[in-house]
Structure 1
Amino acid sequence: MAFNPRILLGLLSLITIGASADLPTLYEYYTEGGINSGLSVDQPYFTLNGKNISIYSGAIHYFRVPPELWQDRLRKLRAAGLNTVETYIAWNIHEPQDGVFDFGDGGTESGGWADLPGFIKLAQQEDLFVILRPGPYICGEWEFGGFPSWLLRNDGIKLRQDDDVFLNYVQRYFDQLLPILSELQFTKGGPIIMVQVENELGFSWYIDTNYLQKIYDMVRGGGIVELLSSCDGASSEQIGTLPGLLFQTIDFGSDIEGNFGKLEEIQPNKPVMAMEFYPGWADHWTEQHHTTDPNDFRNNYEQALAWPGSANLYMFHGGTNWGFLNGANNGVGDNSNFQPITTTYDFDAPLTEAGDYTPKYDIIRELTKKYSAVETYTPDPPEVKERRVYSSLDLNGQLRFEDILRQAPDKIESDVPLSMEMLPINQNSG
């Protein structure tokens, strides 16, 4: 009989499956016997479908990663022992023009940068649960906090406040977004276990509880039945939430006792969770690349898991701020200091901008295995992508600035300077 390599590959696959057959996947374990309930915080620990769970999560923003690399990054996240992926949802990606929406084709194959449903389905395919943070404001060092720039064409609009003009735009956007998310909720057989309402409203913004209540009502009214959360700092003056309606999470990367302890005071008899647990930080232009010591990260992360607490690593894989979509940080009052974010969003994360493993990745694998109360099948880390060197190119010409201007598709004459949002281009979306 002639040698057939397909048979050998099939036998190896059976051996691999047999070796792990005694360990269920996440979905096998948490959906065994049918789905009766979602993520619960009615006790001092999380339960999912009635079973205990600690949320070991990592942030990957689909809009910062080329779609053809989504699967690789998600597989590496699951192989680190994490059970959940978190992402912001960037409004300006999905409504680039006023009233024109783009959510891709919803398939698990690449449907473009805006294929949010495809990313969510791919996460489930890779045995991951999903936390979504649709804002509408998402911060994240992203252009205009995720708001479409054309919103500023409305003179006097009040962002993130109880303003009818702004809220009407949010409602129109949510009317397109939420039906897509609704069908992908855990209690409907999908991966979404938690949805955050707004984002860090208490950090540096006037806390308009009427506005927050209306965003909450939109999300619930849009068919989202899973756990709804908010996210802020741990100090009492930084809390922007709706007690009894939103599960409160916080942001930090150190002083676990101080932060989780404060959260337990604010929100007693509930599980504690860091929605943004920082293994690194973003870079601003003119600064040195931010790095954090892996040993410091190990100590902080282990203290958080041993509390016991849940944590979403922000970022697990930062990716890239493509085009002109990098945002900026800015202080308030006397601390005002404009700090534009670089193109890279490496964040000194456990997985580099290029998708390579770092010492922090190995630490995560070690600690999630140590503290996981439930042992499920965890795949081995995928191989790192092959690197190639581009061939050299000879320069044989140049374009002068006036040559570029002559080729510009839109030419606008104005006696006064116009902001980019007010330019009558892009279907009057600036």
Structure 2
Amino acid sequence: MMNCKRNICQLLFAMLLASPMTVTGATIDNNKKEDVPVADNGFRAGKGTFLLNGKPFVVKAAELHYPRIPRQYWEHRIKMCKALGMNTICLYVFWNIHEPQMDSFDFNGQNDVAAFCRLAKKNGMYVIVRPGPYVCAEWEMGGLPWWLLKKKDIQLRELDPFFMQRVERFEKEVAKQLSTLTVQHGGPIIMVQVENEYGSYGENKPYISQIRDMLRKSWGDVTLFQCDWNSNFEKNGLDDLVWTMNFGTGANIDNQFRRLRELRPDAPLMCSEFWSGWFDKWGARHETRPAKDMVEGIDEMLSKGISFSLYMTHGGTSFGHWAGANSPGFAPDVTSYDYDAPINEYGQPTEKFWLLRKTLQKYSTAKLPALPKAPMPVVDIPQLKLHYAAPLSAATDTMAWSREPLTFEEMNLGWGSMIYDKELPEIKESSMLTINGHDFVQVFIDNKFVGKIDRVKNERTLVLPPTEKGQMLTLIVEGMGRINFGRAIKDYKGLLGDVTLRVDRGDILTWTLKDWRMRAVPDDYASAKKAMDKAAGKLQAADQTPEGIGYYRATFKLRKVGDTFLNMEKWGKGQVYVNGHALGRFWAIGPQQTLYCPGCWLKKGENEIVVLDVVGTKTPVVWGQTKPELDKLQLEKTNKHNNIGDKPDLNSATPVAVGTMAAGNGWQSVKLDKPATGRYLALQCLDTQDGRPLSIAEIYLRDGNGERLGRDQWQVKYANSENEMGNHTGDKAFDLQESTYWQTEESAEMPHLLVIDLGKDMTVSALDYLPRMEQGAPGSLGRYRIFIY
């Protein structure tokens, strides 16, 4: 009997070895029923390695985001990743696209994440799922739905009862879609992430524990992991989860894993986000990262048996209103999520692709598959002229009157613009209008443009001319993406708080404006169509807004369809819809000047284009070109902070600290002899460790109790040198991103000076400093002097 049992066990073991799910590449048996458990160990963390069905497995994951890729192109992008040499697809699940209104879930069409995972399996790829609830991803509100903000006292990403109730409901719905697709059930999903980079938000293990418990309850026996930066992962690391690190191109890899190796010497290592490039912001240069550095980092990790996920392998596009914004301050992201990734925004291989494919071939026993045929050619479209079709206000979805101005959220408006009207008092002199307006505010008196107030520039005021009683003040407030990173994600849109007029006649007179009319304008195609249909009839007086601000339309015919890039350089600011599809935001300031229009959204014969321009244009023309324009700025002034009038005279000032930083990577702290109070920090850099241009990744200040001070109000007041072409301006020293840095120009002479306006007087006891994360910390600070004044 024993010999018979042994023979049966040997036969079963041989059958398992022969099963397509047990090979160490990424070949999956597509005929296996997903509801039949697999008789093996699934995917687990073993000693020093991950184990897939009991065999060592190195994860080579490509990050893709299904909402950023037209569904018709999903399979092509997955095949491109496989041809690159990857064995896994990594993806976020975006709460706000799946629950656009509370209790109304959508997992159909473009949102069918289960279908995306099945396509991955069909093409021999495993899947890592990251269901948040928060995802960041330069996505509107970090993936959290805007309607959470209708509850004003809500605490996001905390143990707030309402927030946790909604999270649990969402996570259950995600699990309904995906939990039967784990490897244990014959599907492709090998790991599921718990929350996302929580250490950059706070320290709250009870909260992380509850998210973990929700996922375990809904998903069953699947490997759970959490990711963070090497500088903060211990804050929230749970003992029963796999720990992974996030870092970018050029990082010192041994240093990134040093502390994890000390704490868990036998754990498998994984970089769950190896940043291939970076995201772009309106008004700043297009971000790039060297291909050589990216490939060398992946080569080093694979040579040491370290798993990775390349963020992004293909970034795609934040269509419609889904691009988010970054903080401190307010830095909205552009529509393109090209990310300088190996597969560009429209699915074509780049230099990074070919270099990385060559490297990944070294780690594959089989020849990598050929590249798939592009689903569409790239075509141009001749210039066409659009005609003014309807004013902005004709799309009004909701009108209300209120003593106090209401926010978007109070008006049940997720995205779009709000028109605020208020009759003015008689003021015989110029007055100062003061608002807290999110985000881009245009000011009109009797429909005549007076000026704008731009949150990106931290503007809050505008001088108004003398006014007569009864003149109409109109504020058109466009909301851009909600902040997706840091504590500022609780980001309301519209007018927040009082609107005042102030006159200084020796004594100060202040009017607080009350009794507002508000009109909500959603930024979707349905609203555009409503406006144009209404304009075709007779518009009422209430439907009028300043001329030129609103909807423009044209039709055009195509004999051949293909991907194209609509050039929007002649326009102001707004959204574009083609055949009802929202392409995304444009803004004349750049750097992005074209919008990607997928060929699958075009058709032979007649097509429609509608442009919503909240600023207006003098030349309403559009054309389609075969290459994108992602790096063309059209700014009113430079991004540099070198106005000599802002440079402080430090000759007679006494520094609060003088010294020399140590060489090498990692955080350092300078403790002041005694606390100092002031509104400005001046950091004077006398030299660097290696004689190269100065680079500083992050700066924090600590209060009298040793706690880090908030940086939400920080702004650069002066910097004697900034490498603007590399997007290494002074604000990168406090942008919450350890992989970005302030860097001086090659030709700039020492000493260097960075002056930061802290927003208000602060008491400071210490300064924390982080050099660049690359090997040897190039350009790290040597001798320094610190001033607080």
Once the 2 structures are TM-superposed, how far is the Cα of residue 243 of structure 1 from its aligned partner?
3.1
- Matched with 2:227 is 231
Aligned match of 2:388 in 398, 403, 415? 398
Distance across 2 between alignment mates of 1:34 and 1:208: 36
Could you tell me which amino acid in structure 2 is paired with residue 118 of structure 1? A
Superposition deviation, residue 389 in structure 1:
1.5
> 2:456: which partner in 1?
none
Equivalent positions of 1:39-78 (< 5 A) are 39-78=43-82
Question: d(CA) in 1 for partners of 2:57 and 2:355?
Answer: 20
Say which of 378, 387, 391 aligns to 1:387: 378
Number of equivalenced pairs: 386
Aligned to 1:412: 400
CA distance in 1, matches of 2:289, 2:359: 18
Residue number in structure 2 paired with 1:85: 89
Closer, same or farther in 2 for the Cα pair 1:27/1:366, shift >3 Å? Answer: same
User: Are the aligned partners of 1:277 and 1:311 in contact in 2 as well (CA < 8 Å)?
Assistant: yes
**Counterparts of 1:163-182 in structure 2 under 5 Å?**
163-182=160-179
Unaligned runs of 5+ in 2: 1-22, 415-521, 523-789
The secondary structure found in structure 1 opposite 2:292 is helix
Give the AA of the match of 1:101: F
1:213 aligns with 2:217: no
Task: Give a deviation string over 1:47-82, Cα, whole Å, max 9, x none.
Answer: 101111100001000011111111110010011110
Aligned counterpart, 2:245: 250
Q: Is the 8 A contact 1:26 1:377 kept in 2?
A: no
Match of 2:7 in 1: none
For residues 150-184 of structure 1, give each alpha carbon's deviation from its aligned partner in whole angstroms, at most 9, with x where no partner exists. 00111211111111111011111122111221111
Q: Residue 312 of structure 1: SS of its match in structure 2?
A: strand
Could you tell me how far apart the structure 1 residues matched to 2:413 and 2:126 are?
40
Q: Which residue of 2 aligns with 1:16?
A: none
Equivalent position SS for 1:27: coil
Alpha-carbon distance between aligned partners in 1 of 2:393 and 2:172, rounded to the nearest angstrom: 40
| Closer/same/farther in 2, CA of residues 415 and 57 from structure 1, 3 Å limit | same
Aligned counterparts, 1:109-128, within 5 A: 112-128=109-125
Aligned twin of 2:538: none
Structure 1 residues 34 and 134, CA gap change in structure 2 (3 angstroms): closer
More strand by share: 2
The answer for the alignment partner of 1:422 in structure 2 is 410
The 1-side partners of 2:182 and 2:235 are apart by 25
2:187 aligns to what SS in structure 1?
coil
Contact 1:350/1:357 (<8 A) preserved: yes
Note the residue ranges of structure 1 that are not aligned, 5 or more in a row: 1-21, 105-111, 331-335
CA distance in 1, matches of 2:219, 2:293: 42
Instruction: Give the share of equivalent positions with the same residue, in percent.
Output: 36
Give the Cα–Cα distance (whole angstroms) in 1 for the partners of residues 354 and 236 of structure 2. Answer: 35
Corresponding residue to 1:341 among 322, 333, 338: 333
**Cα-Cα RMSD:** 2.3
2:187 matches 1:190? yes
Preserved contact between residue 26 and residue 125 of structure 2 (Cα < 8 Å): no
Query: Is 2:325–2:331's contact at 8 Å kept on the other side of the alignment?
Result: yes
Counterparts of 2:413 and 2:378 in 1: how far apart (Å)? Answer: 40
Q: Secondary structure of the equivalent of 1:171?
A: helix
Matched position secondary structure for 2:300: helix
Correspondence for 1:98 among 92, 96, 102? 102
Is 1:144 the counterpart of 2:137? The answer is: no
Alpha-carbon deviations, 1:18-54, whole Å to 9, x = none? Answer: xxxx99862259x9x9541121113101110111110
Deviates more, 1:303-312 or 1:262-271: 262-271
| TM-score, reference length from structure 1 | 0.85
Say yes or no: does 1:357 pair with 2:349.
yes
Matched, 1:311 2:308: yes
Between the two structures, name the one with larger relative contact order (CA 8 Å, sep ≥ 6). Answer: 1
Write the deviation string for residues 64-117 of structure 1: whole angstroms up to 9, x where unpaired: 11111111100100111100000111000000001100111xxxxxxx221111
Check the 8 A contact 1:230/1:241 in 2, yes or no.
Answer: no
Q: What's the offset of the Cα at 1:425?
A: 5.8
Name the CA distance, whole Å, in 2 between partners of 1:24 and 1:160.
Answer: 37
Query: Is contact 2:64-2:89 (8 Å) kept?
Result: yes
| Alpha-carbon distance in structure 2 between the residues aligned to 1:180 and 1:262 | 37
In structure 2, the residue matched to 1:321 is 318
CA distance in 2 between partners of 1:28 and 1:378 (Å):
19
CA distance, structure 2, for counterparts of residue 340 and residue 25 of structure 1: 38
Equivalent of residue 273 in structure 1, options 266, 270, 294: 270
| CA distance in structure 2 between the aligned counterparts of 1:337 and 1:211, rounded to whole angstroms | 27
Please report how far the alpha carbon of residue 208 of structure 1 lies from its aligned counterpart in structure 2 after TM superposition: 1.1
Tell me, what secondary structure is at the counterpart of 2:272? strand
| Distance in 2, Cα, partners of 1:262 & 1:358 | 35
Counterpart CA distance in 1 for 2:216 and 2:332 is 35
Q: In the aligned structure 1, how far is the partner of 2:383 from the partner of 2:57?
A: 52
Aligned partners of 2:371, 2:118: CA distance in 1, in Å? 20
Query: Does structure 2 conserve the Cα–Cα contact (< 8 Å) formed by 1:232 and 1:240?
Result: no
Structure 1 residues 424 and 40: alpha-carbon distance in aligned structure 2, compared to 1, 3 A threshold:
closer
Q: Please, which moves more after superposition, 212-221 or 251-260?
A: 251-260
The verdict on how the C-alpha distance between 1:255 and 1:23 changes in structure 2, with shifts beyond 3 A counting, is: closer
Aligned equivalents of 1:364 and 1:71: distance in 2?
21
Letter of the 1:213 partner, please give it.
Answer: S
| Residues 131 and 171, structure 2, Cα contact 8 Å, conserved in 1 | no
Q: Is the 8 A contact 1:23 1:377 kept in 2?
A: no
Pairwise CA distance, 1:247 = 0.3
